[in-house]
Amino acid sequence: MILLRLIDDHPVVRQGLKAALESEPDLQVISEAASLSGLPPTQADVTILDLEMEGPEPLAGIASLGAVVIFSAHSEPEKISQALERGALGYVLKGAPLEELIAAIRAASRGETYLQARVAGLLAQALRAPAPRLSPRQTEILRLLADGLSNKEIGVHLGVTERTAKFHVNAIFNRLGADNRAQAVALAGRLGLI
């Protein structure tokens, strides 16, 4: 018997998953929670974790959960990579057939990694994609971002207005596909741009 823990902020998702998973003779849901902070202290073999919820950042708590299968709508290669780097053994998108999730759960219970075929394809595509090219000026600005400078401070350093500095920072975000400074710096570091 594989004992499961469900963590998802949508009650209907948890209820539906519980009913579907418990139709398998070797799967039993022993606890469920809307967030990591609401998790009862139980010993499960596998935790099924969504990445989008209130409370503590789900990826930060993966190490303490044992075998984890991510069950999420997030298909961004960056999110997938982060989950795997932090210790998740499986990653299945919420649009996948139930059989995919069950296969991931069984693999994780054996300590094996399981990626839905679409997830593996997204990762492979991201690895094949060339790193974005930045101009020397953008690389300099990215280094200043990594040093924690504000747009105003970047402008002073470069001898341009704060508005021009902000324009350059936004252009870097667009080039890297980042939503904020921390994400841009993390991506740039991972891609070897800084």
**pLDDT tens string 103-146:** 999 999 999 999 999 999 888 887 776 667 788 889 899 999 99
Same domain, 110 and 150: no
pLDDT at site 110: 97
How many domains does the chain fold into? 2
Which tens digits make up the pLDDT trace of 4-17?
A: 999 999 999 999 99
Q: Which of 127, 147, 174 is the last residue of a domain?
A: 127
Q: Which of 85, 109, 127 is the last residue of a domain?
A: 127
Same domain, 41 and 78: yes
Q: Which of 83, 99, 127 is the last residue of a domain?
A: 127
| Candidate ranges 18-22, 72-76, 81-85, 166-170; pick with highest mean pLDDT | 18-22
Same domain, 58 and 94: yes
Q: At what angle do helices 162-176 and 151-158 cross, to 10 degrees?
A: 110
Three-class DSSP category at 138: helix
Same domain, 113 and 87: yes
Same domain, 85 and 178: no
CATH number at residue 26: 3.40.50.2300
Same domain, 76 and 169: no
Q: Which own/partner contact pairs does 51-54 have at CB distance under 8 Å and 24+ positions apart?
A: 51/79, 51/83, 52/9, 53/7, 53/8, 53/9, 54/9
Same domain, 184 and 91: no
Same domain, 69 and 104: yes
| CB within 8 Å of 140: residues ≥ 6 apart | 158
Give me the domain span that covers residue 161.
136-190
Dihedral angle computed from the Cα positions of residues 157, 161, 162 and 164, in that order, rounded to the nearest 10 degrees: -100
DSSP states of 12-46: HHHHHHHHHHTTSTTEEEEEEESSGGG------SE
Burial of 15 (0-12, 13-18, 19+ CB in 10 A): middle
Same domain, 13 and 106: yes
CATH number at residue 173: 1.10.10.10
pLDDT at site 61: 76
Same domain, 97 and 47: yes
Instruction: Tell me the mean pLDDT in the region 68-75.
Output: 94
pLDDT at site 116: 94
